[in-house]
Amino acid sequence: MSASTIIPIHAANTAAHQDHDGCSACLDSAAGPVCRSDIGAPCITPALHGPAEELQRVMQALDQALAVRTDGGLGASGLIHSLRLADGEVELILTVAPRCGGARLADSAFQALRRLLPDTDIYVRHAC
């Protein structure tokens, strides 16, 4: 078993979830701070596996949850390395590191997936 980082998932309505200043290297975004040093190489074409209609619906929800404004205009799809939908399970891999703004984005993605797919096992991981 490999060591992995544990990212706390907060309730969507908690003050801790809403109030996060980030670090001095963070960029401003609609989803909260995104650490400039934690943004990996944008993924131009994320690997998508699952039913096409469901993938489109999930990607639209993630686009709203992960909308990030950066100097290059990186959209949510650039933050997604892969998305796999299966019966009762969804796995999302982000291109950001699991620190600072990356943890915040993982939490935002988890909350969006939980709202959209309430009876589904949800796994949000980081590619870097």
Q: Where are the domains of the chain?
A: 32-126
Query: What integer pLDDT is reported at residue 103 of this predicted model?
Result: 80
- Using pLDDT thresholds of 50, 70 and 90, give the confidence band for residue 20: very low
Kindly report the backbone phi and psi dihedral angles of residue 35, in degrees, each rounded to the nearest multiple of 5, phi listed first. -70, 125
114 phi/psi in degrees, rounded to 5? -65, -40
Residue positions counted in the chain: 128
The conformational region for residue 34 under phi > 0 = left, psi -120 to 50 = alpha, else beta, is: beta
Confidence of residue 104 (pLDDT cuts 50, 70, 90): confident
8 A C-beta contact, residue 45 and residue 79: no
Helix (H, G, I), strand (E, B), or coil: what is residue 101? helix
Fold of 32-126: Alpha-Beta Plaits (3.30.70)
| pLDDT number for residue 45 | 81
For position 43, what pLDDT does the model report? 67
- pLDDT averaged over the chain? 74
> Mean pLDDT, to the nearest integer, of 91-96?
89
pLDDT the model gives residue 120: 94
> Max CA-CA distance within the chain?
41
Q: Which residue has the higher pLDDT, 110 or 28?
A: 110
How much is the average pLDDT of 44-64?
Answer: 90
Half-sphere exposure of 81 (CA within 13 A, CB side): 16
Q: Rounded to 5 degrees, what are φ and ψ at 86?
A: -135, 175
